[in-house]
Amino acid sequence: MMKLLQIIQALGSDNEKNIVKTAIENIDPALLPLQQGLTYSSYVGKSPFKAVILKITDENNIIIVKAGIFYTGIIAGCNCSDDPSPTDEQTEYCELQFNINNKSAEASVELLTD
């Protein structure tokens, strides 16, 4: 489980959304369900992802952050030695919800679907 103490500390500050955005963008992408959010490609790319904070709420001692995530996905060729197609990157987007315990800072993340 992740700990996102900087998000709890940012609540109510003048720079709240920017601090939350930076905290999310510093999470190891391997801890996020980006692979499950792919729409146009096969694998998550190595380029850094960008977050857009959609909503921050506090419900029953849980801070809920909904964020849009822009990241790259890769459409891979067959990886044959004679395959002329280069690795192609696509821009991907998904929405994630971070549920953060406001006492322990422990956080879980889930992919939001329609």
- Which tens digit of pLDDT belongs to each residue from 9-51? 998 899 999 999 999 999 999 999 999 999 999 999 999 999 9
Four-point Cα dihedral 42, 45, 49, 54, nearest 10: 0
Q: What is the pLDDT of residue 41?
A: 92
Q: Name the β-bridge partners of 93.
A: 70
- Which tens digit of pLDDT belongs to each residue from 57-79? 998 899 999 999 999 999 876 55
Q: What is the pLDDT of residue 75?
A: 85
CA distance 65 to 60: 14
- Among 43-47, 79-83, 95-99, the range with the most confident prediction by mean pLDDT is 95-99
pLDDT at 53 over 60: yes
Residue 55 banded pLDDT, cuts 50, 70, 90: very high
Four-point Cα dihedral 27, 3, 113, 48, nearest 10: 0
Q: Name the β-bridge partners of 65.
A: 56, 98
Q: Are strands 88-101 and 43-44 parallel, antiparallel or unpaired?
A: unpaired
pTM above 0.85, yes or no: yes
